[in-house]
Structure 1
């Protein structure tokens, strides 16, 4: 076995290997509570060999939700979350909770309030107005991240992942396009990095050495005039100097504009149109590619940007994301200086992909990057090429059909 599949230390936690199931919206908590379906979803990855699985987008407050059915980290959620962590630990894996506040992406129809941003802003996709957040509200959000981290600790999670990417609220402070503040949270990149540093500092104070603290950070978001790698390197350097994080997971793209910059590959315009209200379907079919963006897929497509961060890290490990599907990708990343590897779509297609790579080094991923799994977040996230997940049951045998 290579070092990729050997135990590795992540802060106070030892993972059985270096592969992490990346956060992917699950759609399995329709009432905002842990369900047996959600547990089975993550259990499949744990039994399939990952070192750690990540529960996607746990809201730090009801106002920070980005979609219906997301779990709000509160004492009310503790019993279900504890059932989830117990199940994953029983399968030998660790589990992380992704903590986030949607900010400009939070829909008023869902939260009941106007979305907040660093400065007044109109979301170009939804055309929804976002008001400027106040300093008092910023302090409240920082505390909410800390309270959410405490819930994760109480529920038995091994790590939390602070969502500082994709132009959700913390990430939007890093963007000079959205952040036009004149106070200590705006202006220079050092000032615009203040919020993510304060959140990380507070969460570390809450967590101590009880759990690992990870942050998901945008290297660039694909919007002209917004986050790009030059300033992202400075943000990463500041976070590393604070020594509040155990690892940074490097990402790209946004939930505000041209989301395919994160995913790459086929653009499922027809499928997205199918889940939209009838009046919007013609516009989605006509302008869907222009709105979502067209970016060809290639293996390890974030590596070129991510390798720029390797020499800067002194206290913080790095997690490589983006087009990692094969064993040789893990070996390449390890040789490049990355410590852990996050996989998303490839594991949706094959939850046991890690076991396959360990036992059959030459096995090839069956994910073909058609990206129709993106549309399934409006129901239950799954790979559309998996009949069991898509239709709910295996096809009965011929003899069973006869009887």
Structure 2
């Protein structure tokens, strides 16, 4: 980082109110899959990771991928929002609160984006051929019926209630990146011919039901955030026009904040991350399914160089369309980037890779230092989630494998 300069940034350090939650500043740790849970339970390494983010100044740190049911997990070692996880989640939120931060649980269901076999056909918006299952031998998926939708909507509500009992200050409903709610929103996955398919209004009907159920369950006690993809980033999927309309619908339903992401895990991951993935990622991944997926992405997706604020043009269009709070996400690498995003009218800024590299980036920004993050956006931290120590920056110290074997409350 460059030497500090006494340039106040009062906007970045000013409080932000999201529903019933008041944040101490406007900088949020975005959800980034950590690889720090075992058998559905948070580990001591996960506690250390998020405590460090809070100590570094982030107003809100987001715990990635908390599945609302066992069938909603994508990989075996992911947090499940159930009674067994409750004491371990409490350890995490208490650690974050001790550092003066707030904690958000990203609640989601993977749908057909799952690599766990033996549970029958994976669920999705529509049934039939399951292209995601080519890597795991699950070649067919099942479309949700009305009873399935009611059950899963209630699972989201119950997951949010459990998150509140665990001490979380917010929940983030994941509606992007190709998981179940994204599968309803995207015409790539949603081929239904009933009230939940066809028009975008119909495709958004089930995600809006989930949002309403969660708001009714916990919206008076905690912030309810939605993360979604402004564009699917590939042919046949949603474009930014649909992304703008999705934002309007989520605003009408009452979400407290939208986190503006983009892309799908399988079809357009470079849209999500703003740059290509290096071949070195496969070298640290032992899971053969993940290695195969990374190879296919490298083989068939064109080389994309990183550029700062790579989602800003699309995010501006959403900003013009709605009045609700929005968090800009994508390529924020410096104090100047933070200032620009806030100056463009976004209420918050969500940070991912730069905080994996240096959790203290937030405190430095809020102190008014003229700095640029040392994160190179090489995307190698993405593959680190599959290592014994979990997600870390390859330029720094790796996670502790021993702590990553111990349950948080163990």
Kindly tell me: are residues 280 and 367 of structure 1, through their superposed partners in 2, closer, same or farther at Cα, counting changes over 3 Å?
closer
Quote the offset at 1:313 in angstroms: 1.7
**Equivalents in 2 of 1:164, 1:42: separation in Å?**
23
Which has more helix, going by share of residues?
1
**Equivalents in 2 of 1:332, 1:392: separation in Å?**
41
**Equivalents in 2 of 1:45, 1:292: separation in Å?**
32
Match runs of 1:129-278 below 5 Å: 129-243=140-254, 245-272=255-282, 275-276=285-286
**Equivalents in 2 of 1:296, 1:79: separation in Å?**
43
**Equivalents in 1 of 2:219, 2:103: separation in Å?**
18
Kindly tell me: are residues 281 and 232 of structure 1, through their superposed partners in 2, closer, same or farther at Cα, counting changes over 3 Å?
closer
**Equivalents in 1 of 2:352, 2:303: separation in Å?**
20
Question: Are the counterparts in 1 of residues 177 and 265 from structure 2 also a CA contact under 8 Å?
Answer: yes
Match runs of 1:66-105 below 5 Å: 66-105=74-113
| 1:342 maps to which of 345, 350, 357 | 350
Question: Are the counterparts in 1 of residues 76 and 116 from structure 2 also a CA contact under 8 Å?
Answer: no
**Equivalents in 1 of 2:292, 2:107: separation in Å?**
35
1:230-289 CA distance string (max 9 Å, x none): 11211211121222x10011110112223222112342223315525679979965x542
Structure with more contact order per residue of length (Cα contacts < 8 Å, sep ≥ 6)? 2
Quote the offset at 1:15 in angstroms: 0.7
Question: Are the counterparts in 1 of residues 154 and 213 from structure 2 also a CA contact under 8 Å?
Answer: yes
Please report the TM-score for the alignment, with normalisation by the length of structure 2.
0.90
**Equivalents in 1 of 2:73, 2:294: separation in Å?**
24
Kindly tell me: are residues 333 and 86 of structure 1, through their superposed partners in 2, closer, same or farther at Cα, counting changes over 3 Å?
same
**Equivalents in 2 of 1:12, 1:190: separation in Å?**
28
Q: CA RMSD in A?
A: 2.2
Question: Are the counterparts in 2 of residues 261 and 293 from structure 1 also a CA contact under 8 Å?
Answer: no
Q: Helix, strand or coil: the match of 1:220?
A: coil
1:6 correspondence with 2:14: yes
Counterpart of 1:333 in structure 2 is 341
Question: Are the counterparts in 1 of residues 127 and 140 from structure 2 also a CA contact under 8 Å?
Answer: yes
Counterpart of 2:308 in structure 1 is 299
1:382 correspondence with 2:374: no
**Equivalents in 2 of 1:83, 1:221: separation in Å?**
36
Q: Helix, strand or coil: the match of 1:375?
A: helix
Question: Are the counterparts in 2 of residues 221 and 253 from structure 1 also a CA contact under 8 Å?
Answer: yes
Q: Helix, strand or coil: the match of 1:76?
A: coil
Please report the TM-score for the alignment, with normalisation by the length of structure 1.
0.91
**Equivalents in 1 of 2:289, 2:257: separation in Å?**
44
Instruction: State how many pairs are aligned.
Output: 389
Question: Are the counterparts in 2 of residues 63 and 113 from structure 1 also a CA contact under 8 Å?
Answer: no
| 1:311 maps to which of 320, 333, 338 | 320
Question: Are the counterparts in 1 of residues 243 and 318 from structure 2 also a CA contact under 8 Å?
Answer: no
Quote the offset at 1:166 in angstroms: 0.6
Kindly tell me: are residues 275 and 204 of structure 1, through their superposed partners in 2, closer, same or farther at Cα, counting changes over 3 Å?
same
Question: Are the counterparts in 2 of residues 125 and 257 from structure 1 also a CA contact under 8 Å?
Answer: no
What runs of 5+ residues in structure 2 fail to find an aligned partner?
A: 1-7, 404-410
Kindly tell me: are residues 37 and 189 of structure 1, through their superposed partners in 2, closer, same or farther at Cα, counting changes over 3 Å?
same
Quote the offset at 1:10 in angstroms: 1.4
Question: Are the counterparts in 1 of residues 13 and 366 from structure 2 also a CA contact under 8 Å?
Answer: yes
**Equivalents in 2 of 1:180, 1:140: separation in Å?**
21
1:183-228 CA distance string (max 9 Å, x none): 1101111000101110110000001310000000111112211121
